Structures are given as C-alpha cells and as structure tokens.
C-alpha cells in the first residue's frame, strides 16, 4: 500500500463519515419537527435536563442498572438536543435569508 493509496482511503473514510453525520443531523431535524421539539429553546432544554438530574439526585437510587445506563446516555442526549436545536435555528435563518 502506497502513501497515496493510504491518503485516498483516509479521505474516502472521512467523506463517508461526514455524509453519515449530515444524514444523522438531517434525520434528527426531521424527527424534531415531527415531535414538535424543534421549537424548544436552549433554556428549556437545559431546564429539563437540570430537573431530571435534580430528581435523580433526590431519589438516590443509583443501584439500578437501567438508571446507570440513563446516566451514561443523558450527556449524549443533551448534546444531540443542543445540536438539533442549533442546526434547526441555522436552517431557519438560511430559509429566511
């Protein structure tokens, strides 16, 4: 395998990763519109997450395996919701201009 072939492979993988990411964001935006969550503000998202975390602390039932998984997935969900809100806002601004 030559250096040029390796570079082409990496570039191809990067392009596939970018296309997959674009599709994921597009799908998230579509689902957000369907669910009506495209109208949620960043403050509302942050408030929901804070309320959930506060409730979890008050329960203090960390022994449950399902709850442990939720604790691991919540940061990803938060990131996805913020990204969806960001891209939805960007899309609206592009449509308006």
pLDDT in tens, 33-52: 888 888 888 898 889 889 99
Domain that holds residue 50: 3-96
Decide which of 27 and 97 is more confident. Answer: 27
Question: What's the pLDDT at 94?
Answer: 75
Question: What's the pLDDT at 64?
Answer: 60
* Number of domains making up the chain: 1
Query: DSSP letter string over the chain?
Result: --HHHHHHHHHHHHHHHHHHHHHHHHHHHHHHHHHTGGG--HHHHHHHHHHHHHHHHHH--TT-HHHHHHHHHHHHHHHHHHHHHHHHHHHHHHHH-
Q: How far is CA 16 from the centre of its chain?
A: 19
Q: Is the pLDDT of residue 83 over 60?
A: yes
Q: Is the pLDDT of residue 61 over 70?
A: no
Does this model's pTM top 0.75? My answer is no
Question: What's the pLDDT at 88?
Answer: 77
Which of left, alpha, beta for 34 (phi over 0: left; psi -120 to 50: alpha)? Answer: alpha
């Amino acid at each position: 395998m030559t250096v040029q072939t390796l570079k082409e492979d990496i570039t191809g993988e990067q392009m596939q990763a970018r296309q997959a990411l674009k599709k994921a964001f597009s799908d998230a935006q579509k689902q957000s519109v369907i669910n009506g969550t495209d109208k949620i503000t960043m403050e509302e998202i942050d408030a929901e997450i804070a309320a959930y975390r506060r409730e979890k602390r008050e329960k203090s039932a960390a022994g449950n395996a399902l709850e442990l998984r939720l604790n691991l997935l919540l940061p990803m969900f938060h990131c996805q919701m913020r990204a969806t809100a960001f891209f939805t806002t960007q899309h609206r601004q592009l449509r308006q201009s």
